[in-house]
Structure 1
Amino acid sequence: MAEDEAIPAATLILVRDRESGPPELLMVERAAGMAFAAGAWVFPGGRIDAADEELGATLDDEHGGARIAAIRETLEETAIPVGLGASPRPEHCLEIQAALAGGQQFAAVVAQAGLSLDVGALTPLARWVPRFHAKRRFDTLFFVARAPEGDWMPNVIEGECTGATWVSAAEILHRDRAGEVQLIFPTRRTLERLAQHSYYDAIVADARSHSIEPITPWVEEIGDERFIAIPEGMGFPVVRERLEGLWRG
């Protein structure tokens, strides 16, 4: 892969509705030693590997490999199942997580567990292709999906993530403004978009009402200030942020 070529990746926004208050989202804190976005709070996800593409090619879906990667990474990072025909029990998910972390192929783990895939449970939301980094640039498909029924608590394995939690978009944005957490530009814009909605079905309706086109932020000058900007009309309520002081992971 050329140095300036973006790495294909996928991320998954798991949403669980609440009887009162805005929906909660599953987020993870990236380990401090990671080459990209170290210490940032993000949605579960990672690069799309060759095995994801191979399994995805068996599906009648243009985003098959990305959907597989999003499902696999969420299981590997949090032990929470999504995109499976029937959700296994929490203890079973811990076994699946350990198998994946140990290097077993996702297709083999799914087959051994007698599980089926339900990639249609994932709805594409956006595609981000930032150019902030000369290396480790990612071309990332963002998906949304409903969290499985029950009180699923995320479990993280030492390595890529140092923590995980369920939190509303408004709460994590408040913590970001207070300097308590770090968010990269695409995550912040996505959280602002999600914060507009009070339940999962509204988020899906929003996702389906916008085309999935690559979003590549650019620098623009307004007066004496420089901003990072994205196109309007893509579903994001905030389309620019001051460049000065912007943390880029």
Structure 2
Amino acid sequence: MTPDLPIRPAATVILTRRGPSGPEVLMGQRGAGAAFMPSKYVFPGGAVDAGDAAVPLAAPLPAETQALLDGGDPAPEALAAAAIREVFEETGLALGQPGDWTSPVPADWLEFAARGLRPSAAGLQLVFRAITPPGRPRRFDARFFLADAAAVAGDPEDFSAAADELSHLHWIALAEVRRLDLPFITEVVLSEVALILSGGTQPGVPFFDNAGVRPTFRRLKPQNT
């Protein structure tokens, strides 16, 4: 039996834009040899690093997202920084605003800062949370943020600075995305994204909690987080 693994906090970003046939999302494919979700198409994202908490944001999270995350661990600002860093590392796209850093730039952020940018969390909307079930090779407590490609500083088609963790990076119409090889949780998240982009309102942010002995589901609201 696989021993129980620690649950690492993580942040994922669903980048969207308006395409010729409707809303589009940015997807990439994980490598066939990856320990977690090999060969699956996913959104950019990954674990929170220890240094993310010290990254100064040019703009804070929207008030509602901040309220949903307040009181949790890690801090909302660390999750936002991790989300922006992962998008930049895996796609080369920068969610940032022009500005100079007023503190030493961490090594993971040197290229971001070299573009004359500071990370901005202003466009991140929390839309989903899920904890990986036991028995998987990796376990994460992942927060999923929705962000419009208009928040990208630069060309949202330019993936030239992306690392090699995701291949086949491309924008795909929301109506066609399910033809890709997707993890189950990604399909569930896409249903929430479709609701929001069609003008619907979430009755709270879905949270699939697999941290305990029994899986539970609830919807997060600012007053009960």
TM-score normalised by L of structure 1: 0.65
From 148, 168, 174, give the equivalent of 2:173: 168
**Residue pair 1:123, 1:145 contacting (<8 A) in 2 also:** yes
Q: Highest relative contact order (Cα 8 Å, sep 6+), 1 or 2?
A: 2
- Match of residue 72 from structure 2: none
Q: Deviations over 1:78-110 (max 9, x none)?
A: 11222x1249xxxxxxxxxxxxxxx9321x444
Once the 2 structures are TM-superposed, how far is the Cα of residue 155 of structure 1 from its aligned partner?
A: 2.0
- Match of residue 125 from structure 2: 123
Change beyond 3 A, Cα 1:167–1:132: farther
Change beyond 3 A, Cα 1:21–1:127: same
- Range moving further from structure 2, 185-194 or 129-138: 129-138
Q: State yes or no: 1:191 paired with 2:190.
A: yes
- Match of residue 208 from structure 2: 215
Change beyond 3 A, Cα 1:233–1:112: closer
User: Secondary structure of the equivalent of 1:4?
Assistant: coil
Amino-acid identity (%) = 30
Q: Distance in 2 between matches of 1:125 and 1:115?
A: 26
Change beyond 3 A, Cα 1:116–1:58: closer
- Match of residue 5 from structure 1: 6
- Range moving further from structure 2, 153-162 or 63-72: 153-162
Once the 2 structures are TM-superposed, how far is the Cα of residue 58 of structure 1 from its aligned partner?
A: 10
Q: Distance in 2 between matches of 1:183 and 1:24?
A: 16
Q: Which structure carries more strand by proportion?
A: 2
Once the 2 structures are TM-superposed, how far is the Cα of residue 112 of structure 1 from its aligned partner?
A: 4.0
**Residue pair 1:56, 1:67 contacting (<8 A) in 2 also:** no
- Match of residue 34 from structure 1: 34
Once the 2 structures are TM-superposed, how far is the Cα of residue 42 of structure 1 from its aligned partner?
A: 0.5
Consecutive unaligned residues of structure 2, counting only runs of 5 or more, are: 61-65, 67-74, 100-105, 221-225
Q: Distance in 2 between matches of 1:56 and 1:133?
A: 36
Q: Distance in 2 between matches of 1:54 and 1:3?
A: 30
- Match of residue 223 from structure 2: none
Query: What is the root-mean-square deviation of aligned Cα atoms in Å?
Result: 3.4
Superposed, 1:141-156 pairs within 5 Å as 141-148=143-150, 152-155=156-159
Change beyond 3 A, Cα 1:121–1:58: closer
User: Secondary structure of the equivalent of 2:12?
Assistant: strand
Q: Distance in 1 between matches of 2:91 and 2:112?
A: 16
Q: Distance in 2 between matches of 1:86 and 1:56?
A: 13
Change beyond 3 A, Cα 1:233–1:45: closer
**Residue pair 1:51, 1:105 contacting (<8 A) in 2 also:** no
Once the 2 structures are TM-superposed, how far is the Cα of residue 166 of structure 1 from its aligned partner?
A: 0.5
Once the 2 structures are TM-superposed, how far is the Cα of residue 21 of structure 1 from its aligned partner?
A: 3.1
Change beyond 3 A, Cα 1:119–1:167: same
Consecutive unaligned residues of structure 1, counting only runs of 5 or more, are: 88-102, 176-180, 219-228, 235-249
User: Secondary structure of the equivalent of 2:195?
Assistant: coil
Q: Distance in 2 between matches of 1:37 and 1:154?
A: 25
Once the 2 structures are TM-superposed, how far is the Cα of residue 33 of structure 1 from its aligned partner?
A: 1.4
**Residue pair 1:217, 1:230 contacting (<8 A) in 2 also:** yes
**Residue pair 2:91, 2:163 contacting (<8 A) in 1 also:** no
